[in-house]
Chains A and B, each alone.
Chain A
Amino acid sequence: MSASDSSVSGEDHEQDDIVYLEELHPNSKSSNKTPTKTPSSPLKFSQNPPKFSHGRKKSRAGGGGSQKSGRVYHSGLRTLYTAGRPPWYDSHGQLKEPFVIGVCGGSASGKTTVARKIIEALDVQWVSLLSMDSFYKVLSEKEHQQALENEYNFDHPDAFDFRLLIDTLKRLKEGKNVTVPVYNFITHARDEHSKTIYGANVVIFEGIMAFVNKELLQLMDMKIFVDTDSDIRLARRLKRDISERARDLEGVLKQYNKFVKPAFEHYIEPSMSSADIIVPRGGENQVAINLIVMHVHKQLQERGFKLRSKLLNSGNVQCLSVPHTLHVLEQTPQVHGLHTFIRNKDTPRDEFIFYSKRLMRLLFEYAISMLPHKKVVVETSQGVSYEGKRLDAKKICGVSILRAGETMEQALCKVCKNISLGKILVQTNLDTMEPELHYLRLPKDIKESHVMLMDATVATGAAAMMAIRVLLDHDVPEENITLLSLLMADTGVHSVAYAFPKVNIVTTAVDKEVNEKFHILPGIGNFGDRYFGTDFLPD
């Protein structure tokens, strides 16, 4: 795959797009040169002035920010995807646990500023930010009325749904995707549209009651308390609520004295003792932030980097036996002849497409014959019964690894009627030569399905492993995954088979070597480029 392939076509991916706004990419080499321009809703509340306020930030007010996400599409900020997610598992396919940073502090203490500065300085491409604001409880009609009159106490542990919060953070920590509710501060209910957040290398969790719950505390690898003088906090709050939210001085002070101040004294300030680091003066404290970042870096390095080169050189390759999960299409003269066509560098493109499609068709017929079948007796049109077989898989769906895997979709549709298809975009970062996850769209019922995971070629197996990991994170059982490709390298076969011993690997040929550019030898060249004609060089 080529790196120029950054934009993904697609129309109605609204929900997915919102997802990725949650992830910040300060080091992105994309059009977002200035990290602060990253359209991350939690950090930029000012772009969406709330209509109603009770003192909490509510950038998400107004229903999932559909209007905002619409703006994101049209302004071309999709390029956010170009900072993809690097591997979040090691070369054995096992999860690297994300580093969870908790940020706590009183209202208007500068928690998000600290969080943002950490993200900027961290220089890590995949960070998820989780805000406690998403986890307010749904209010009853009566409570809703109270809230409208500034009488409901949002600054109390009981106002939060800690059970949901803990479950969400736990899942994120397992690297799985989570759906985070979108709290609507006008209706005080959860919006119908929730957001999906994917596990990341670093998860930052912030909120005023972040350190109040014991179970929650145990999930954090680092606890930061932002300790800002109460006078400054009150001053910021007054300024924010009066000038930005058009509220009157009296109401703000009333709420402050009745709820915000007691809450700080009763719950927030005592929870400071749980913190590992206390950051005085909030976001201005550059020394503290530098120290934090250094520590996180060290932790991340210990958790493993550089997956692809590790795969290439890993001991996995040396295991001599052919993994039992590998199935190679029978090498008939036709298969051999088809390979001759598509491997020949002088084959014209239309023939390349034609013959690779034929090979794909054979590959899928072969792969399907390996799925479980059950015996059935049917009544024939000739009046006798016939003992035959039918497929025993409840459902089959296809998932292609963009871009080259997409070429195989058509052949799959010719073999499986009405199959639903998902897509995963994994690109190689040309600087690090690491695979990165940029986009995914999977069928809803994927966890009940048998998944045909398609990529035209598998060299080191890094992209395939990332895709398998994504499927596992979406609760697809490992034994329900079949990885299909036209050509694989020995290295890739062994890496995938070693990391995921239950995944069925089906291919039409296995080549011995991979060169330093991660091309298979003798190989087939860059399949996607040859198929789509993007290797064209004007003379």
Chain B
Amino acid sequence: MLCSLKRSTLKVENMEPDLIQNSVTIETYDDYDFGPKLKRLKVTDNVRELQTVLRDRNTNRSDFIFYADRLIRLVVEEGLNQLPYKNCEVITPTGQPYKGLQYEKGNCGVSIMRSGSAMEQGLRDCCRSIRIGKILAYSDEDTHDAKVVYAKLPQDVDQRKVLLMYPIISSGNTVMKAVNILKDHKVLEENIILLNLFATPTAVKALIKLFPEMTILTSEIHPVAPNHFGQKYFGN
């Protein structure tokens, strides 16, 4: 099932049942082609460090939040690059023209609670007055079945580009439910940009198959998702 491109360098120590089937190695997906709708944050040494700290079980909570906020900010900045803009010219204080560009209005953020709300501040730090909707999706720990229990979105959400925020995607069920809610509110699939930190290849493939027009931005695709994110970020 796993399509390998790279000889893996990761070794499983505590073997979990669903990992054993691929022997002791885990494939990495740094170079795998998921199609044009998948965007990745450029993995510099710096980004790799952020990921390393977030995955490291020995990271204390204060460091975890600090590094998570940094990675979130980078993902958000990259996500904003996906938004439409037009060219314009401005005059600098020295009286010279400068060929610049201007972003179009009509964007909003939607976070999938609870871990998605960790990303709200990152978005707020980049776009001060952006409207942010919330979707609370509860996912059953055993069945991984997700249920939406609450959704509050901007009234004209169907007219906007939506930055959907969810940091960890392991099965993709929660995101699927949330996207369906957006679609119920008449948001066009191509207007959704999913901002994500860590995703599993399975989930990414499933999401692309289900919502081929949606843009997905992530920092890393890896079979093991750091599922402790929400717990560690919020401290419970």
| B-facing residues in A299-341 (Cβ within 8 Å) | 330, 332-334, 336-337, 339-340
A390 touches B52 (CB 8 A): yes
B74 touches A365 (CB 8 A): yes
A344 touches B100 (CB 8 A): yes
A380 in contact with B94 given A365-B70, A368-B46, A373-B45 (CB within 8 Å): no
A344 touches B90 (CB 8 A): yes
User: In the complex, which residues of chain B have a beta carbon less than 8 angstroms from the beta carbon of A358?
Assistant: 77, 125-126
User: In the complex, which residues of chain B have a beta carbon less than 8 angstroms from the beta carbon of A345?
Assistant: 90-93
A336 in contact with B100 given A344-B92, A345-B93, A389-B52 (CB within 8 Å): yes
- Which of the residues B52, B63, B103 comes within 8 Å of A388, measured between beta carbons? B52
A466 interfacial contact with B, CB 8 Å: no
CB distance from A348 to the nearest CB of B (A): 12
User: In the complex, which residues of chain B have a beta carbon less than 8 angstroms from the beta carbon of A333?
Assistant: 80-81, 83, 85, 101, 103
CB distance from A472 to the nearest CB of B (A): 26
- Which of the residues B47, B94, B125, B128 comes within 8 Å of A522, measured between beta carbons? B94
User: In the complex, which residues of chain B have a beta carbon less than 8 angstroms from the beta carbon of A334?
Assistant: 77-78, 80-81
Nearest residue, chain A, Cβ from B45 = A373
- Which of the residues B14, B52, B74, B125 comes within 8 Å of A386, measured between beta carbons? B52
Which residue of A358, A388, A520 has the most chain B CB atoms within 10 A of its CB atom? A388
Q: Please, how many angstroms separate the alpha-carbon atoms of A389 and B220 in the complex? A: 14
CB distance from A508 to the nearest CB of B (A): 13
Give the number of residues in B that approach A within 8 Å (Cβ atoms): 56
CB distance from A312 to the nearest CB of B (A): 16
Q: Please, how many angstroms separate the alpha-carbon atoms of A365 and B74 in the complex? A: 8
Q: Which one of B132-140, B157-165, B179-187, B221-229 contacts A?
A: B221-229
Q: Please, how many angstroms separate the alpha-carbon atoms of A308 and B49 in the complex? A: 41
B10 touches A387 (CB 8 A): yes
Q: Please, how many angstroms separate the alpha-carbon atoms of A343 and B95 in the complex? A: 10
A380 in contact with B92 given A340-B98, A358-B126, A390-B52 (CB within 8 Å): no
User: In the complex, which residues of chain B have a beta carbon less than 8 angstroms from the beta carbon of A346?
Assistant: 90-91
Q: Which one of B53-61, B107-115, B211-219 contacts A?
A: B53-61
Q: When each residue 403-439 of chain A gets 1 if its CB lies under 8 Å from chain B and 0 otherwise, what string results? A: 0000000000011010000000000000000000000
B52 touches A384 (CB 8 A): no
CB distance from A329 to the nearest CB of B (A): 11
A4 interfacial contact with B, CB 8 Å: no
Q: When each residue 355-370 of chain A gets 1 if its CB lies under 8 Å from chain B and 0 otherwise, what string results? A: 0001001100110110
Q: Please, how many angstroms separate the alpha-carbon atoms of A526 and B88 in the complex? A: 22
| B-facing residues in A483-539 (Cβ within 8 Å) | 515, 519-526, 530
B93 touches A530 (CB 8 A): yes
B56 touches A380 (CB 8 A): yes
Nearest residue, chain B, Cβ from A336 = B101
A141 interfacial contact with B, CB 8 Å: no
B16 touches A365 (CB 8 A): no
A383 interfacial contact with B, CB 8 Å: yes
B44 interfacial contact with A, CB 8 Å: yes
A381 touches B55 (CB 8 A): yes
CB within 8 Å of A: which residues of B? 9-14, 16, 19, 26, 42, 44-49, 51-53, 55-58, 63, 66, 70, 73-74, 77-78, 80-81, 83, 85, 88, 90-94, 96-98, 100-103, 125-126, 128, 224-228, 232
The 9 closest A-B CB pairs, nearest first, are: A388-B52, A340-B100, A525-B93, A522-B96, A369-B46, A369-B44, A383-B14, A373-B45, A344-B90
Q: A378-B56, A386-B10, A522-B92 are in contact. List 4 more A-B contacts (CB 8 A).
A: A333-B80, A382-B55, A382-B227, A521-B94
Q: List 9 A-B contacts (CB under 8 A).
A: A333-B85, A336-B101, A373-B49, A380-B56, A386-B52, A388-B49, A389-B49, A390-B52, A526-B93
